[in-house]
Amino acid sequence: MRRALAQARRGLGRTTPNPLVGACVVTDEGVVVGDGAHQRAGQPHAEVLALEQAGERARGATLYCTLEPCAHTGRTGPCTERIAASGIRRVVAAMEDPFPQVRGRGFAQLRSRGIAVDVGVEHRAARLLNLPFFTFVREGRPFVILKAATSLDGQLAAAPGQRTQLTSAAADRHAQYYRAQVDAIAVGSETLLVDDPLLTAREIFRERPLVRVVFDRRLRTPPTARLFSTISAGPVIILTSSECLRRHPGQARLLEAAGATLVAVDSPALAASVRALAQFDVQSVVIEGGAEVHQAAWDEGVVDYVQLYLAPTLIGPKGVPFLQGRPLSPSSLIDARVVPLGPDVLIEGYVHRPR
């Protein structure tokens, strides 16, 4: 199963809106005769690829898969039929697929064909691997990662409206690595105005377009913002309000001409804007700033994971505090990790216990 999980990780950053899935076929003698990893939506599933590699050696063997095989026809046919036709004797799965069209049906179909099914091996590892997909299916919103860089005294910037570089090149490379895996990056309009970021994945390969999101209820985003110079890297979505679009039709037209997709969210809650991203198949989003957006996301309970980069510097009380000065330490997170990155330190972990 650990081998199958390693196969699944090959699809990181590629498979949305599908989950990450890996599989391997093992003979009774313990010989691995087939491996498979789902790579992209619409392409063969991991189980099918592993079976194709195994060929006739799959007859009488065991199929290990990180998620329940599908039993329905979507962009591809049901994996359960391919498994049954291959002569596989036993299927070992890490967990049930919560997707409504599967959810136990795959296991039921396999058992009805006389195939032994065992569920639960490396369940926790498989669950953590696909938390964005599970959050999307169960809650109808993306998995939210709150990312921030602060000084040792918990400040985001030297002063309001002042761009402040805190982290080292090592920390920045680590952040880019995560940008290559998630579906979207989001910032508030204040961060856009102050930093004018590109919001692209740099110094690391990313196969799929990266969705760039701006929370901008006042429609302050300038059409000349640098992120519009990188539309080829991925769409720009501006989440605003219907009232603002009615009051500023000229600004709306300029932004659309620049390449933005404008989405009206009438609820002032940030959670409603986050949920609106589901219509674009965004299953994971990193909220990178600024202070007000961080605070709103935290207070509204939509943050699932925290990545806090600590720089070895002090700013003082005139700075912009992270979460209004609320202390955030490894002890306040679940499965927390503390990782040195050059002179900086990364503290990361789950806000609530993953399910």
Bridge partners (DSSP) listed for residue 119: 93
Q: Given a cut of 90, is residue 325 above it in pLDDT?
A: no
pLDDT at site 289: 85
Q: Given a cut of 90, is residue 33 above it in pLDDT?
A: yes
Q: Given a cut of 90, is residue 41 above it in pLDDT?
A: no
pLDDT at site 42: 85
Q: Is 139 marked active-site?
A: no
pLDDT in tens, 187-229: 999 999 999 999 998 888 888 899 999 999 999 999 999 999 9
What pTM did the predictor assign?
0.92
Kindly indicate the confidence band of residue 74, based on its pLDDT and cuts at 50, 70 and 90. low
pLDDT at site 153: 92
Q: How far apart are CA 273 and CA 269, in angstroms?
A: 7
Contact indicator for 141, 127 with CB cutoff of 8 Å: no
pLDDT in tens, 221-272: 999 999 999 999 999 999 999 999 999 999 999 999 999 999 999 899 999 9
From the list 47, 68, 288, 348, the catalytic residue is 47
What is Dmax (Cα atoms) for the chain? 71
Kindly indicate the confidence band of residue 73, based on its pLDDT and cuts at 50, 70 and 90. low
Q: How far apart are CA 57 and CA 92, in angstroms?
A: 17
Kindly indicate the confidence band of residue 355, based on its pLDDT and cuts at 50, 70 and 90. confident
**188: Cβ–Cβ under 8 A, 6 or more apart, which residues?**
214, 215, 216, 289, 290, 292, 293
Nearest to 305 by CA among 265, 343, 346: 346
Nearest to 280 by CA among 294, 296, 261: 261
